[in-house]
Structure 1
Amino acid sequence: MLALELSGQAYNKAAHRERLGALLKNRSNGSIEFKHCNISAALLALGFPYVAGYKPRSNYQSLLLEVLEQQLKSNPLVDHAALAAVQLPAVAPPMIDFSRVRDQAPQLQPRTGEPSAPMVFKAVKRDYLEREALNQSLGLAGEKFVVEYEHWRLVKLGHQKLADSVQHISQSRGDGLGFDILSYEQDGRERFIEVKTTSFGRETPFFVSRGELALSKQAEDQFHLYRLFEFRKAPRLFELSGPLERHCLLDPITYRATFS
């Protein structure tokens, strides 16, 4: 299903579930659906997107991760489809009903499941989510989308002058400030917006820099992260305001090594 979805081809979830049910005679439809949600969480852990509609549920056994990793290694089609999907160029949609764009942010869930074990070192062929985060075309399209959205939001609130003052800071002043878009509240206070864009589902992890994390704490009354998801299909967004650690589990991915 993942390969078909990434390739833009149709498939039938119900038919797939029925085929599995015939093989797993002691499993209910609900348990099969739940297991697919476990698989979604395991896919994210391996750096893959997940199948739309199967909300990731992270309380899976480590054996599932091992089996899934072996299945993915033996199926190069998934690798090719995922790589092609995350590297596609993107453009901001020309016509959009912004009144239908907002969504609820995922709820922060405590980690459950097996007790944590010492780190296991594994060879990872690709991290597709990281590669998508480096897709400059997609990132720029998402930022342009948010510039238009903020203009619409402020006009709708009756503040045309503020709407006309919205700035695409990452383009006019460069990266490194910890945010991409300068917008405004109704009273004229500045709103610092960092944009993270994905073509995949709402629960897809995203990457933040040290500067973005620091700004979310230092300017907590002004910092807003806009997470765009399903961008290539029908863009939606949710908003995280203030310190990111209030909303997300933050995993250190890399460290900067220096000699002084």
Structure 2
Amino acid sequence: RNSLVKEEKVPYITKRDYAKEAIRNTEKGLQGEYLVINYEKERLIKNPITKPYADKITHVAESGDGHGYDIISYDINLDAPNEVIEIYIEVKTTTGNRDAPFYLSDNELNVARIKGELYKIYRVYDYNTVPKLKIIDNLFDETLEIKPINYIVKGVNQNDKHTKNQLPKNTL
């Protein structure tokens, strides 16, 4: 008889190796930063005004990730064309295409607000094939959706009846 049977996929749980994933992401991010530093050096060398600054690019992410950006580079001040100013570059590297979402920390978002037009996101995408670059000059002018996805929980009451002062010993 012509009956239609609908089959649904049963979700299954896979074990993710978060440590390996973090290492891969860190390496990919670092390689993306190196690509951007090379891009910036070439860009600065092409202009006689910015050429002396090509060797002054600073990879601040090498000393830690609390800055809210990865690289300090330079550009011409649009208000004074003979003046060179610092720009602050956050590099976001993904294997996905240009439209793949990327993460931005709360610190990065706050620094972007403070630095304003001096803050740039250099979006390295298609990293595993032929890496390409999209520069986001103004995070808040683009047609981008910035959506919070993590929350911090503070103020856990240590004296409530559900607090256990000691857990049983691990017998495994």
The TM-score with structure 2 as length reference comes to 0.72
Aligned with residue 177 of structure 1, among 67, 84, 88: 67
2:126 corresponding residue in structure 1:
230
Kindly state the Cα deviation for residue 216 of structure 1 after the two structures are TM-superposed.
Answer: 1.1
Q: Does 1:246 align with 2:141?
A: yes
Kindly state the Cα deviation for residue 208 of structure 1 after the two structures are TM-superposed.
Answer: 0.3
1:155 corresponding residue in structure 2:
45
Q: Does 1:195 align with 2:91?
A: yes
2:155 corresponding residue in structure 1:
259
Report the AA paired with residue 217 of structure 1: R
Report the AA paired with residue 164 of structure 1: D
Ranked by relative contact order (alpha carbons within 8 Å, sequence separation 6 or more), the top structure is: 1
Provide closer, same or farther for how the CA distance between residues 216 and 134 of structure 1 changes in structure 2, counting only shifts above 3 A: farther
Kindly state the Cα deviation for residue 166 of structure 1 after the two structures are TM-superposed.
Answer: 0.6
Task: Determine the C-alpha separation between the residues in 2 that align with 1:197 and 1:132.
Answer: 13
Report the AA paired with residue 167 of structure 1: T
**1:107-186 alignment to 2 at 5 Å?**
135-158=25-48, 159-171=50-62, 173-186=63-76
Kindly state the Cα deviation for residue 245 of structure 1 after the two structures are TM-superposed.
Answer: 3.5
Provide closer, same or farther for how the CA distance between residues 258 and 228 of structure 1 changes in structure 2, counting only shifts above 3 A: same
Task: Determine the C-alpha separation between the residues in 1 that align with 2:11 and 2:118.
Answer: 44
Task: Determine the C-alpha separation between the residues in 2 that align with 1:250 and 1:134.
Answer: 25
Q: Going by fraction, where is helix more abundant, 1 or 2?
A: 1
Task: Determine the C-alpha separation between the residues in 2 that align with 1:198 and 1:155.
Answer: 27
| Gapped regions of structure 1 (runs ≥ 5) | 1-66, 88-130
2:165 corresponding residue in structure 1:
none
Divergent runs of 4+, >2 A: 70-74, 131-134, 244-247
Q: In the TM superposition, what whole-angstrom CA distance separates every residue of 1:85-130 from its partner, at most 9, and x where no partner exists?
A: xx6xxxxxxxxxxxxxxxxxxxxxxxxxxxxxxxxxxxxxxxxxxx
Taking only aligned residues, the RMSD between alpha carbons, in angstroms, comes to 2.7
Q: In the TM superposition, what whole-angstrom CA distance separates every residue of 1:26-76 from its partner, at most 9, and x where no partner exists?
A: xxxxxxxxxxxxxxxxxxxxxxxxxxxxxxxxxxxxxxxxx9xx65847x9
| Gapped regions of structure 2 (runs ≥ 5) | 1-6, 77-82, 157-172
Task: Determine the C-alpha separation between the residues in 2 that align with 1:245 and 1:192.
Answer: 15
Task: Determine the C-alpha separation between the residues in 2 that align with 1:237 and 1:168.
Answer: 18
Provide closer, same or farther for how the CA distance between residues 259 and 236 of structure 1 changes in structure 2, counting only shifts above 3 A: same
Aligned with residue 102 of structure 2, among 206, 210, 214: 206
* CA radius of gyration, larger in: 2
1:217 corresponding residue in structure 2:
113
Q: In the TM superposition, what whole-angstrom CA distance separates every residue of 1:107-160 from its partner, at most 9, and x where no partner exists?
A: xxxxxxxxxxxxxxxxxxxxxxxx579711101000111111100100012332
